[in-house]
Amino acid sequence: MTNWQRRIRQLDQAPFITVGLIAIMVLVYLAMTLAGGSTNINVLITFGAKVNALIQQGQWWRLITPIFLHIGFTHILMNMITLYFVGIQLEAAFGHLRYLGIFLLAGVGGNIASFCFSDSLSAGASTAIFGLFGAFLMLGESFWQNAVIRQLANTFLAFIVMNLAFDLFTPGIDLAGHIGGLVAGFLAAYLMGVPRIGKVNLVKRLIATVVLIGGFVWLVLHGMAQ
């Protein structure tokens, strides 16, 4: 193996998408802090938090930008720790671009669900992170015969149940966004496929694609009609 090939292989194995996402979010958090504080409502709105009325006025980018915003130090700290340890595993399993696709689709899906079912201002990578949990469930369903994947999927299923139960009794948590992100991540994982592990049933991939796109369209139209 040449030095060039070795470098390419090392780059392929490095979780640079996960690290890059974390770096972007930390930089945005610092910028928000300098602008007046990440808990300041005006700062959050300026930087792109999800505000239903503004989305209904045509600011569709607010379905994407909330993924990269956080409200307070504890919020970003917990999300970045979770993103790192979950992300490096899924980036290795799906590959860089597929992993990024799942992350973004889940984040947008969670924000669309929040737009449809919650009137509250919201921000955070939690929608996308729950989507990564959903991707683990997809791996468990598709590769149940793999003992390691099955154990990971069961662990994350228990983790998801505990988190959603916690959400139910915690004021201010965007439950709709978390559930929307979870479902979108599960479906997006089928859409992307995971050739590094094995083939995913084509019929399941087609069904997941139709449900994901159809769900996005229906939720957006429903949210706009409110």
Task: Note the pLDDT tens digit of each residue in 120-141.
Answer: 999 999 999 999 999 999 999 9
Query: In the predicted model, what is the mean pLDDT of the chain?
Result: 91
Instruction: Select from 224, 205, 215, 225 the least CA-distant residue to 108.
Output: 215
126 among known catalytic residues: yes
122 among known catalytic residues: no
Catalytic residue among 38, 122, 126, 142: 126
**Tokens representing residue 120 in the block:** 């509250």
Task: Quote the pLDDT of residue 3.
Answer: 56
Judged against a pLDDT cut of 80, whether residue 226 lies above it is answered with: no
Question: H or E stretch including 4?
Answer: helix 3-13
Q: Which domains does the chain have, with CATH numbers?
A: 3-225 (1.20.1540.10)
Most confidently predicted of 142-151, 155-164, 202-211 = 202-211
What is the distance between the alpha carbons of residues 27 and 13, in angstroms, rounded to a whole number?
Answer: 25
Catalytic residue among 38, 114, 122, 178: 178
What is the distance between the alpha carbons of residues 139 and 125, in angstroms, rounded to a whole number?
Answer: 21
**pLDDT average, residue stretch 56-75:** 96
In Å, how far are 40, 70, 123 from 198, measured between CA atoms?
Answer: 46, 36, 35
Residues composing the chain: 226
Higher pLDDT, 135 or 2: 135
Judged against a pLDDT cut of 60, whether residue 2 lies above it is answered with: no
Task: Quote the pLDDT of residue 146.
Answer: 87
